[in-house]
Amino acid sequence: MRIGIDAGGTFTDFVIQHDDGRLESFKLPSNPRNPAAVILAGIGDRDVEVIHGSTVATNALLERKGARTAFVTTAGFEDLLFIGRQNRPELYNLSPAPRRFLVADADCHGVRERAHADGTVALVPSPAELKRLRLALRRSGVKSVAICFLHGWQVTANERLVADSLADEFFLSVSHQIAPEFREYERAATTVVNAYVGPLMDSYLGALGRPVQIMQSNGGLISAEEARRHPVRTILSGPAGGVIGAVGAAKSSRITRILGFDMGGTSTDVSLSEGTPRMTVEAYVDGLPLRVPMLDIHTVGAGGGSLARIDEGGLLRVGPESAGADPGPACYGRGLRPTVTDAQVVLGRIAPDQLAGGTMPIDPARAAAAVASLGLGLEAGAAGIIRVANASMERAIRAVSVERGYDPRQFTLLAFGGAGGLHACEIAASLGITQVLVPQFAGALSALGMLLADNVRDSAAGVLGRTDYEAAFATLEAQAGPGKLERYADVRYAGQSYELTIPWSKRLPQTFAAAHEKMYGYAIPGRSIEVVTVRLRSIVKVKPPKLRHPGRQLAQPSARPVWVDGKFQSIPTWQRNQIPAEPTPGPALVLDYGSTTFIPPGWGFCTDSAGGLLIAADR
């Protein structure tokens, strides 16, 4: 058997793939203080292959709870992390929030060394210099060290010399191993993030005490040993599983173009796919650039646990602050402040015995008291919370579609996560989308995606100023190990500052021109191009589980009052296995073990051959 595990902010999801192909899903409440205990409790004494989407590195980075880290760089460049890029993310904000750094100024150390851009080594660190650095790091009390020298991506000897002198005492991250690319700030930031989260990931995987495979941000699996060395590759581990699950579910339902909409307890992740997940090597997480391959995912702080409040100007705000797993929404019995989930309870879309198959009781009176505390009226306040949260998530979908030249009306909105189906139709209507798919196991699709993922290793080599691309690819291929090999390159027009990653081929100029025109609306015929970085992907395929219709139970739906079109109405409440094959008009609620779907008036629904809930707007 195989088991996919997604540790979320509120629940930890488990999907088991049995030997006979059957899929089984269940949830356990997350424990942010001891996530390994929840994982081990869910596995129990089963003899299973474990595939895990870890949030340890993500949470350590976002909450600034990583290891104390030192930054070692070329003498004279100690302020590299603080200078960064001179871009202003908020152009018209005169009082932007101060940047949060991972390394203190006192923990930045310069080493007398120098390599030139042409590859020559001008100065090698002396034994005395290495001894001085080791003593300084030991006295400072740091646990982890990030090493990033000028031109270290091209000339590795000095970085290796320093790393060898420190290897027996500190957790090390070395830039030419983590991000062997030019642009020293992005390379340094990525190396520092790896060093910052590395000791925690190492400790966490050790606490599991069993072999596991870890989902990477690029949508592929790596061994726990490799995740311990390169934890920066797991920063978007859980959301990446959701994207892979969404693409797999769409294929099972014979749908190609999807907008993935993953609404969980803490945040919402959106993505766009035209049959295969979109990749990027230029991602920012909490303001920090990461130069590692990642799935192209846009995240907003709007989830079921997002807190609602009235701001200083009297306006209703929702998120990005979240109630998380502890204390959680008010309806869970511990929190006091209103959340999106509490609003759904007030509006009748979540019943007291509904969450996680009834294993997690809901307190409607507590939810009502929390929403009423806003002073907007009970139902009006709850409906307002939903509208504000929907607007935030709609903007996120526009960011991955409209702002990149895609018309969302030409896509199916694939909704998943525990709360995705509750908001999907209303958001789709605002965007002009006419079809919504809520797949099987929607509440645990990220965990299912981990069972669908292949084993993937990404590697790269900077080649700016070189022309021996075949030699660079040959070096990467010699290190890649078994698997199907795919070549890519970061390419730009000469004089440009940024690149596009495209498949490597003999028609590279034509492929690049087409990609440039699609992205920016124009190409420059005859202008020379530069290859900046070559990339290699090694893929070992797994046998994925298949989504099948679970069978239909002939039974009539129950009914309950739900707030629809400004008033409570008694509407049908279906279990997913009760839904008929022929289209049925809304309004309705569809209940599943891990998710709930609200279908407003003007939409019809049915199930497809893969068991997916297919919802279409009335023509």
Phi/psi of residue 168, nearest 5 degrees: -85, 0
pLDDT band with cut points at 50, 70 and 90 for residue 501? very high
Strand partners of residue 268: 263, 300
Q: Record the tokens describing residue 60, joined without a space.
A: 């350590």
Q: Token pair 């509440």 is at which residue?
A: 443
- Asked whether the predicted pLDDT for residue 21 surpasses 80, the reply is yes
**What is the mean pLDDT of the segment spanning 304-319?**
91
Q: What whole-number distance in Å separates Cα of residue 272 and Cα of residue 431?
A: 14
Among the ranges given (93-97, 144-148, 358-362, 478-482), the one the predictor scored with the smallest mean pLDDT: 358-362
**What is the mean pLDDT of the segment spanning 359-372?**
90
Q: Record the tokens describing residue 414, joined without a space.
A: 């694939």
pLDDT band with cut points at 50, 70 and 90 for residue 357? low
Tens-digit pLDDT profile for residues 163-212: 999 999 999 999 999 999 999 999 999 999 999 999 999 999 998 988 99
Answer whether the bond into residue 327 is a cis peptide, omega within 30°. Answer: yes
What's residue 356's pLDDT?
Answer: 65
Q: Domain extents for the chain? A: 69-202, 455-540, 558-617
For residue 453, the 8-state DSSP code is P
What's residue 63's pLDDT?
Answer: 81
C-alpha atoms less than 13 angstroms from C-alpha of 495 in its C-beta half-sphere: 3
Question: Rounded to whole angstroms, what are the CA distances from 465 to 152, 224, 253, 461?
Answer: 15, 36, 47, 12
Alpha-helix runs per DSSP H in 406-552: 420-431, 445-452, 469-480, 508-520
Q: Record the tokens describing residue 173, joined without a space.
A: 């991250």
Q: What whole-number distance in Å separates Cα of residue 192 and Cα of residue 255?
A: 40
Among the ranges given (88-92, 126-130, 564-568), the one the predictor scored with the smallest mean pLDDT: 88-92
Q: What whole-number distance in Å separates Cα of residue 57 and Cα of residue 294?
A: 15
Q: How many CB atoms lie within 10 A of CB 421?
A: 28
Alpha-helix runs per DSSP H in 77-180: 80-83, 127-140, 157-166, 175-178
Closest by CA to 371, choosing from 330, 317, 418, is 330
Percent of the chain exceeding pLDDT 90 equals 72
Q: State the sign of the Cα–Cα–Cα–Cα dihedral 423, 429, 432, 436.
A: positive
Between 104 and 118, the more confident residue is: 104
What's residue 58's pLDDT?
Answer: 84
Tens-digit pLDDT profile for residues 570-614: 999 999 889 988 899 989 999 988 889 999 999 999 999 899 999
Q: What whole-number distance in Å separates Cα of residue 448 and Cα of residue 416?
A: 11
Tens-digit pLDDT profile for residues 314-351: 999 998 888 876 788 999 888 899 999 999 999 999 98
Q: What whole-number distance in Å separates Cα of residue 201 and Cα of residue 189?
A: 18
Tens-digit pLDDT profile for residues 229-283: 999 999 999 899 999 999 999 999 999 999 999 998 778 899 999 999 999 988 8
